[in-house]
């Protein structure tokens, strides 16, 4: 029995050393496969590690540093399998008027995690998860649009404070301070706006208005994508607008309720992706004559439902610009071909979706 135990231990030890040896060799091979580049890169210089792609080109892997404009602009971060991963920092000191700094977190090339933007003028701090805003949001000196009657207004907020629920919708009380005289506040229940008001802090007078938090937040992310993240465009995943507000669902057809999801395992997709969607909208928009003559332009925010079969229904204007532009935005969205439907597990489901339709002269 003693001899057998000794032999068994020897076998186990040999197997363990063999496995450790294999792991060590794998690590050595991986380390040897990585190469380092340091030199000219686009409009500046860069230092990064990579491995050769068997199909040609390079696969970025590991630390990345990019500098341009004599060090005034700088980007630092990491790549994993040729996609941005973890924390990245974008600094643009050459923009002397604003000097913006963006600290963003990525997962497989997509924004996912803490997101912080600061400049000499404004700032915002929030968290992104699976294409949605989560947790608390704080900001200052942000542009905010609201509507009173038929008139639209744009103001600058001294401060913004709010929070999102677990599904990425506005929840609870949101406070938007314009200055010492005017304050806005909204009351939300899981994305459904129960009340949105403008308060005169000198008189105490309160009036109901329509606030547009969705537009404000998405424009910040989109602008940073175009102006800061684009300094390094490698496999960038473009931001998809996420509507932080929703209408109270009262849709019931005959005997059974038609469920519309907002959080699913796989979101709907236009045939061939976002680029094809933007191209379709540009090619199929018929600019209204009256709007063109009056030089009216802007971005209409449209919501709709992608059904189980990919068809489009329940098209609505979430943010209006002009009656003629609104009507054309609805028409072109209704004309879209069937999408790839959203999925929950192995089942196709109906999903709420929001996109911007841009009219530019």
pLDDT digits (tens, 9 = 90+) for 161-183: 999 999 999 999 999 999 999 99
Quick one: how far is CA 78 from the chain centroid?
A: 19
Spell out the domain ranges in the chain.
Answer: 35-231, 252-359
- Sign of the dihedral through C-alpha 76, 81, 87, 92: positive
pLDDT band at 269 (very low <50, low <70, confident <90, very high): very high
Q: Is residue 20's pLDDT more than 80?
A: no
Please name the fold of domain 252-359.
Answer: TolA/TonB C-terminal domain (3.30.2420)
Q: Is residue 3's pLDDT more than 90?
A: no
State the pLDDT at residue 97: 67
pLDDT digits (tens, 9 = 90+) for 327-353: 999 999 999 999 999 988 889 999 988
List C-alpha distances in Å: 312 to 207, 212, 268, 352.
36, 24, 11, 10
Better-predicted residue by pLDDT, 252 or 231: 231
pLDDT digits (tens, 9 = 90+) for 105-157: 999 999 999 999 999 889 999 999 988 999 999 999 999 999 888 888 999 99
Provide the token pair at 130.
């699976």
State the pLDDT at residue 307: 92
Better-predicted residue by pLDDT, 177 or 247: 177
Q: Is 40 exposed, middle or buried (0-12, 13-18, 19+ CB in 10 A)?
A: exposed
Q: Is residue 257's pLDDT more than 50?
A: no
List C-alpha distances in Å: 88 to 5, 30, 96, 197, 306.
54, 24, 21, 37, 34
Place of tokens 């643009």: 92
| Nearest partner of 119 among 135, 105, 132, 102, judged by Cα | 102
């Amino acid at each position: 029995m003693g001899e057998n135990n000794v032999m068994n231990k020897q076998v186990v030890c040999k197997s363990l050393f063999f496995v450790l040896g294999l792991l060590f060799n794998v690590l050595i091979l991986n380390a040897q496969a990585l190469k380092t580049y340091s030199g000219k890169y686009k409009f500046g210089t860069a230092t990064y590690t990579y491995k050769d792609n068997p199909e040609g080109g390079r696969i970025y892997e590991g630390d990345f540093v990019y500098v341009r404009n004599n060090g005034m602009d700088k980007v630092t971060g990491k790549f994993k399998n040729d996609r941005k991963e973890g924390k990245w920092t974008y600094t643009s000191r050459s923009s002397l008027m604003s000097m913006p700094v963006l600290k963003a977190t990525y997962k497989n090339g997509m924004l996912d995690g803490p997101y912080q933007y600061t400049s000499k003028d404004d700032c915002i701090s929030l968290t992104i998860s699976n294409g949605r805003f989560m947790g608390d949001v704080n900001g200052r000196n942000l542009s905010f649009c609201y509507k009173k009657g038929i008139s639209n207004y744009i103001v600058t907020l001294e401060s913004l404070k709010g929070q999102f629920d677990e599904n990425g919708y506005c929840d609870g009380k949101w406070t938007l301070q314009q200055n010492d005289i005017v304050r806005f506040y909204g009351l939300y229940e899981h994305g459904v706006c129960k009340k949105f008001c403008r308060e005169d802090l000198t008189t105490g007078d309160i009036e109901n208005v329509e606030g547009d938090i969705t537009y404000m937040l998405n424009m910040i992310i989109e602008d940073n994508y175009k102006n800061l993240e684009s300094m390094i465009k490698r496999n960038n995943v473009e931001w998809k607008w996420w509507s932080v507000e929703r209408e109270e669902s009262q849709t019931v057809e005959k005997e059974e309720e038609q469920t519309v999801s907002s959080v699913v395992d796989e979101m709907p997709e236009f045939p061939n992706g976002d680029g094809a969607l933007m191209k379709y909208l540009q090619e199929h928009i018929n600019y209204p004559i009256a709007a063109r003559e009056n030089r009216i332009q802007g971005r209409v925010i449209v919501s709709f439902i992608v059904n189980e079969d990919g068809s489009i229904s329940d098209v609505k204007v979430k943010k209006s610009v002009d009656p003629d532009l609104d009507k054309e935005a609805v028409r072109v969205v209704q004309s879209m071909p069937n999408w790839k439907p959203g999925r929950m597990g192995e089942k196709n489901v109906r999903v709420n979706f929001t996109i911007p339709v841009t009219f530019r002269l």
